[in-house]
Structure 1
């Protein structure tokens, strides 16, 4: 098979497209011919050695893909060769073929493209568990989404609306905010041109109930000072590059809860909740409440450019690598 291989930590240009043996198929697993695989911010960190997990060299990055089942292992009953599927791959997804645990493989809806399917589980799964389980978002509450046009931010906008919240989307350009509004945002803030704290207080004088934060840095600092009584901040990443610190006195005064979410850890610690979350999300998709946004789909050979689009914030929604 062909695979994008990382042999040493470095920039995307250090990755190489190589021929390598296909992984062996074990019991409870399926082999998948990959048609599309999505790049996540975590992948950009992993190839640079900045992620919380560092796999041994050489490795193939990528967590999520969509494709066709070509072979099933012993004990697999719900999948068969020829099925269109979405998969979570622990073997790496930036390749032409992978082996995945059947528990992490679900049928791809007929109306969903391979690119949309590849873009679906991590971003939507992160936002769904983040908002429902960690943020306890309720209908009628106000949700502030930072980085609202990014891979997870845009899904948080959609899921927040589906849950009945009033959604304020914050991003760094009018173009990105237009996309957030098209996906359901009620109000928008351009924090490259406007003061985030001032604008939030204008839009929500009593403060926001939930903040969804994949950005960190200055945006987190400002959002912390815009919380309503008993508000919740869900921390999912640090795209700004700065991990913020939390003044505990601010948490005390307004009874604010700051909670973290590492979605990938659910694969080990709570796979049942991960699976049920994805099923709920596919239900929302079929109802027309979720519309995966893929701004760029590039062939596997253009992997370095695809990574750069994400790292340099030229993309909105998801960037996907494809195999014809």
Structure 2
């Protein structure tokens, strides 16, 4: 067993149901990892809209207070307990658990996914949620063949950026919608097949079999109206704060359907081998530059209490939390 250096560690905790929600607490040195356990020094942790919704008590899964938020990030193995064989000290890993907004974690080796050396830690920290959401929605919501079209809004978001790259890798046409010219500039280099600027969907972006909606409300309805007969709209976000809806004529006369998507629930329905296959594919694509996300800001862990306000502000890319181990 490789010994770790005992020193205090910090975690971010959700401590209240109203603002101020968050506090950074020092928890003292972590114990040495036991049988089958690994001490992971976290480097970066991702901040997603789902995290902010959960902090505010508006998410589908609400832990009891206090709790450590975060379900995605990247770290390095600091020490391994007896019986650990899958990872070794110095290796970069992804924790497949909740509670990643922390300096250090003691985890079962079964809860860790190795990351290829040379991978950008910032991209690795965003590897699990957004690219996986894009791939699972494209491959498990309906049957698509190469040449079929997919339309999606919020195309400048992290999921949207990954959708463009994955559509190309799968031979699908991407109809990418953004709200403004500035948002369009952010993704023009990704070269979607059709770039839609504004709320209205032009004729050249109609006829898709699948629509992916991150906004809700009228935006969902517009996507549904653009689909081919029998198409499906999948809502995976509610950026507008409004419930998704479809026009009656599209539901009754054209057979368009609407369903929701939550990655954690979808993974729960899948065989472990299928989940591993998804991450293996994504790992290969990450190395080849097929997927990736813009980083707007890397914020030190001690400033985590600012996150709800920062997340509400206009920004160009994702926010990451850095720990004392990141340099």
Q: What TM-score results when the alignment is normalised by the length of structure 1?
A: 0.88
Equivalent in the alignment of 2:298? 297
* CA drift at 1:246: 4.0
* CA drift at 1:148: 1.0
Is the 8 Å Cα contact of residues 145 and 157 (structure 1) preserved in structure 2? no
Gaps of 5+ in 1: none
Offset from partner CA, 1:174-200 (integer Å, 9 cap, x none):
222222222232222232xxx42xxx2
Offset from partner CA, 1:230-273 (integer Å, 9 cap, x none):
32222212121112234565234323343332111355443433
Matched, 1:209 2:209: yes
Equivalent residue of 1:60, what SS? coil
In the alignment, which of 36, 43, 56 is matched to residue 51 of structure 2?
Answer: 43
Gaps of 5+ in 2: 1-8
Offset from partner CA, 1:141-182 (integer Å, 9 cap, x none):
122121111132222222122212221211222222222222
The change in CA–CA distance for 1:305 and 1:120 in structure 2 (over 3 A counts) is same
Larger Rg: 2
Taking the aligned partners of 1:288 and 1:235, their CA distance within structure 2 comes to 27
Equivalent residue of 1:121, what SS? coil
Equivalent residue of 1:59, what SS? coil
Equivalent in the alignment of 1:281? 282
Equivalent in the alignment of 1:250? 250
21-30 vs 241-250, which deviates more? 21-30
Is the 8 Å Cα contact of residues 156 and 186 (structure 2) preserved in structure 1? yes
Is the 8 Å Cα contact of residues 153 and 177 (structure 2) preserved in structure 1? yes
Equivalent residue of 1:170, what SS? strand
Offset from partner CA, 1:189-221 (integer Å, 9 cap, x none):
232xxx42xxx242235x222111122122111
In the alignment, which of 79, 87, 95 is matched to residue 79 of structure 1?
Answer: 87
Taking the aligned partners of 2:54 and 2:122, their CA distance within structure 1 comes to 22
* CA drift at 1:42: 0.6
The change in CA–CA distance for 1:280 and 1:44 in structure 2 (over 3 A counts) is same
Q: How many residues align?
A: 314
Offset from partner CA, 1:3-54 (integer Å, 9 cap, x none):
111111234x431111125488565543310000001111000100001111
Is the 8 Å Cα contact of residues 38 and 79 (structure 2) preserved in structure 1? yes
